[in-house]
A and B are shown apart, each in its own frame.
Chain A
Amino acid sequence: MMNAFLNISNGEAIDRRKIPHLPFADFRENALEIVREGGKIVQFFGYQDGAAMKFMTVLRTDKLMAAGCDAPEIYPSLTRVLEPFHMFEREIAEQFGIQPVGHPWLKMVRYHPNYRKVKDVFGNHYKEDIPGNYDYYQVEGNEIHEVAVGPVHAGVIEPGHFRFNCIGEKVLHLEIQLGYQHRGVETLFSGVNAKRLPILAENIAGDTTIGHSLCMAEAVEALTRVRPDKGAKIIRTIALELERLANHIGDLGALSGDVAFLPPANYFGRMRGDFLNLSLLICGNRFGKGLVRPGGVRFTLSDDVRKTLNERLKELKPQVIHVLELLFLASTVRDRFEGCGCVSTIDADHLGLVGPAGRASGLPYDVRRCFPTEYYDEVGISENKKTTGDVYARAKVRYDEVLQSIAVIHSLIQNPVETKTVTVSNFNLSPSTFVVTLNEGWRGEVSHLMLTDKDGKILRYKVKDPSFHNWNGLAMALRNTGISDFPLNNKSFNLSYCGFDL
C-alpha cells in the first residue's frame, strides 16, 4: 500500500501546506500501516490552528515522513492496535482533552489541566497533589507487598514516584509516576520571541544542554535559512560528543558504585569532571551552556584551545581505558550486571526504546548514523548494538561509545577549525513552515518540532526528550527482577525527570 505520508529530511524547512492533511481515518490507517511495518514514532502531537484542533505525526523508517489531520474529539485509540503510540496518545489526551477510546492504560502523563480548558479526560481538578484521581496499579494476593519510593529520594536527584508491587524480593510490577517538575516548557517556547529560544532550550534538561540546544538551533536555522559554517558544525559535534562522554563516564561510575565496587566509581567520578572541564575550556561552561546558537556557535576553537584539548584527551584516554577494564574485568561486577533487568528486543521494539537503552536491546538506531546532522556525515559512526538487553549490555554500549566519542573528538581537533562567532540573536522565522530536527543526545533521540503561523510566530513547539520513550523500558526491565536491583537498573537507564516532565 502506498502511504500518503510525505517524505521529509532531518532539519528541512517545509511549507506547511505541503504536509499531507488527511482525513482522520486515512491518517490513522497510514500511520498504523507504517508502524506495523517497523516504523517508529518520532513525534505525534496535537496543536491548535486557529479554532481547529489538529494532529500531526512524524514517523521514521529508514527515512522520515510526516502527515497531519483534523483531530476528532474522540477517536479509536491507535495504541489498542500498536503499542508504540502509548505515551503519545496519553500526552495528547492530557494536553488537549482528546479521548482515545479503548486506550489500554489511559493515565495522566505530567498532571496538568489541558490547554483548551475542556473537560478533563482523567476526571482531575488539579487541586490535589499528584496522582489526583488515580489509583495506582495494584497486585492482589496474601504475600504481595507494595513499596513506594519517592518523590523525595535519599540522594540529590530529581523527584519521581516509584511504586513496586512485590512478592518477597521479586518485583512483579513497577509503576513510575513523574510530572513533579512540569514547568510548561512547550507553552513557554511558543510564547517567546526567537531571541530567548536558546536560553529555554539549554534549560530543558541540564545534562542534555547541547542535545536540546542543537535541535533548537537546527530548527531555527531551517526557518531562517541561516546556515552555520563548517567550523561551527565541527565545534557543535565536539560539544555533543563531550556531553556524551561526561555523562556516559558518570553513569559507568555510578553503576560501579551501585554494586559497591568503589574504585571505578571514584575514578570515573573524577574523570567525569575532567570531561566536563573540556566543555568549560571551549565555552566557559561545564555543561556547554551559551555555546550553541542558531547560525553557529558563540565561541571559536582557537589553536591554543585545540592544543590543550588534544593534550588533555591524550592524557585521559589511557586512564579511561584502564578504569573501563578494571570495571568490566571484575568477575563480581560481571555477575551483577549480566542477566539483570533484561528487556527483550521484542519488548524494546514495542516500547520504542531509543539511544543506548535501545541499542542494548538490539535496536541499532542511532540518529548520528541514520539521520546525520552537523558534522556526523563526515565522521562515520559505526553501528553499535548488543543483543542481551541487560544491565551489562547497557553498560557495554556506553563502554563502546566512550571510546568512539574519544576517537571522534580526537579526529576532529587534528586540523585547525575556523568559524565566525554568532552575534545576531534575533531572527524572523519564515511563516507557515514546518521543521523537525533530530539529534542523538547521550540518552538517545532528542527531537524538536516547530510549526509557525502565517505571521512567522511559533504556532506549536514540540519537544521530545529520549526519556519520554525510555521510562517504560525501565518499568519493563524491573519485571521479575529483585527489588534490590532497582537502583542498578535505574542507573543503567539513567533517564531524565525534567526532560520528561517538560
Chain B
Amino acid sequence: MKFIMIESILLFIIACLTAPFFSGIILKVKAFFGGKKGPPLLIQYYTLIKLMKKGSVYSQSTTLMFKLGPMISLCSTLTVLLFLPIAGHAPVCSFHGDVICVLYLLGLGRFFTIAAAMDTASPFEGMGAAREAYFPIICEAAFFMILILFYRLTGELSLSAYFSGQHTLELWRLAGPPLLFVVFSLFVILLTENSRVPVDDPATHLELTMIHEVMVLDHSGPDFGLIELGAFCKLFFYSTLISRLILPFDLNAPLIFVFYFTGLAIVSVAVGVIESVMARFRMDKVPQFVLTSFALAFFATIITLEFI
C-alpha cells in the first residue's frame, strides 16, 4: 500500500515535469506544416526558466487579487493532477465523487484568472474574461454528460474508477461505440479549455481576437511563468484522459509508460495537425462548435440506455 502511494507521488511529479514537453510537440508539428524548422522541443522549459528569472511588473491600479490569480490557478490545476490516474496507476488521492471536485477545482482556477483579469480594469481583459466565462460553461455541461455516461456504466464517481488499471478497458467492453463519441467530445473540450485553434489562437498577437491570452496580458515574469505552467498541466490533464481512452491497455511497466506517453504524443500531434489544417472559427460560431461536444456526449449516453 505504502509502495503504491510512493509510486503515485512519483508519477505525479513526473507528470508536472513532463507537462511542458507536450506543448513543445504541438509547436513542432505546426512548424512542420508551415515549412519551418520550429523551436526546439524543450522550448517551453526554456521559456519557464526565462520567466522565472525575470521580475514581475504590477500596475498601480491592481490589488491583491491580481497577484493571487496566477498562484491559485496553478495550485488548483496541480491539485487536479493529484486525482488523475497517470499511466493507469492509482492517483495520489481519490474518493467517491472526486470527479465533481476536479471539475470545480478547474472552475476555481478559472474564477481567479478571470477575477485577476477584471482587476486590471483593462477593456481587453474584460472582454477576454467574458469569453472565458462563457465557453467553458458549455464544456462543463458536456463533461457532466460524459460523467453521467461513465456513472451509468460503472456506478462509480471517481477518476480512478474510469482511468486506472483494468477500468478503461472495461469501459470499452461495456460500451465501445458510445465511447468513440466520448473521445471526440473530450477532444473538443480539450481544444476549448486549452484555448487552441479553432476556438482560440494561442499564437496571435491581436488582443481583440484572443480569449485566454488576453486575460493574462498584464501578468509578467514569474507570475506569467506560473500561469504558463498551469496551462501546460491543464493540457496534460485532458490529454491524459484521451490518451487512456485511445490506448486503454493495462500492461506492466515499462510497456504501460510507452503506451501512455505515446498516447499523449498522439493527442499533441493531433492538436498540432488541427491547428495547421484549419482556421479558427468566428467568435459567434465557437459556442456551436463547443456544443458539439455536449451533443456527442449526450448521444453517447442515449445509446447506452439501450444496452443496459
Contacts and interface: CB of A to CB of B under 8 A. Distances in A.
Contacts of B30: 262
Interface in A446-502: 482-487
B34 A265 contact: yes
A262 B276 contact: yes
Contact of B36 (A169, A266, A333, A335): A266
Interface string B17-46: 000000000000010011110000000000
Nearest to B196: A260
B281 A482 contact: no
B198 A332 contact: yes
Interface residues of B, number: 30
Nearest to A491: B206
Interface stretch (A27-35, A79-87, A140-148): A140-148
A258 interface: yes
A478 to B, nearest CB: 11
Contacts of B33: 262-263
A483 B207 CA distance: 10
Given A155-B205, A336-B282, A260 B275 contact: yes
Interface string A251-262: 000001111111
A154 B206 contact: yes
A484 B208 contact: yes
A261 B278 contact: yes
Given A149-B208, A484-B209, A266 B282 contact: no
Contact of B208 (A147, A259, A270, A340): A147
B282 A263 contact: no
Given A149-B208, A154-B205, A332-B198, A340 B35 contact: no
A265 B282 CA distance: 18
A332 B205 contact: no
Contacts of A169: 127, 283-284
A145 B123 contact: yes
A262 B275 contact: yes
A330 interface: yes
Nearest to A171: B208
Interface string A322-352: 0000000010110110001000000000000
Nearest to B123: A147
A270 B34 CA distance: 11
Q: Which of A155, A260, A270, A332 has the most CB of B within 10 A?
A: A260
Nearest to A264: B34
B280 A486 contact: no
A246 B35 CA distance: 20
A68 B172 CA distance: 85
Interface in A119-149: 145-149
A148 B209 contact: no
Contacts of A149: 207-208
A369 to B, nearest CB: 33
Contacts of B35: 263, 266-267, 270
B136 interface: no
A484 B282 CA distance: 8
A332 B127 contact: no
Contacts of B34: 262-263, 265-267
Nearest to B197: A260
A336 B279 contact: yes
B206 A333 contact: no
Interface in A262-283: 262-263, 265-267, 270
A266 B282 CA distance: 21
B282 A340 contact: yes
A260 B279 contact: yes
B127 A483 contact: yes
Contact of A483 (B205, B208, B276, B278): B208
Contacts of B278: 261, 330, 332
Contact of A154 (B123, B207, B277): B207
B203 to A, nearest CB: 7
Given A260-B197, A267-B35, A147 B279 contact: no
B259 interface: no
B132 interface: no
Nearest first, the 9 closest Cβ-Cβ pairs linking A and B are A266-B34, A260-B201, A259-B279, A261-B279, A487-B206, A332-B279, A260-B280, A484-B283, A147-B123
21 contacts: A154-B205, A154-B206, A155-B205, A169-B127, A258-B209, A260-B279, A260-B280, A261-B279, A262-B30, A267-B34, A267-B35, A270-B35, A332-B280, A332-B281, A333-B279, A335-B285, A336-B282, A482-B284, A485-B209, A485-B283, A486-B209
Given A263-B35, A335-B285, 17 more contacts: A148-B123, A154-B205, A155-B205, A169-B284, A256-B279, A260-B203, A260-B204, A262-B30, A262-B203, A263-B33, A265-B34, A267-B35, A330-B279, A336-B280, A482-B282, A483-B127, A487-B206
Interface of B: 30, 33-36, 123-124, 126-127, 197-198, 201, 203-209, 275-285
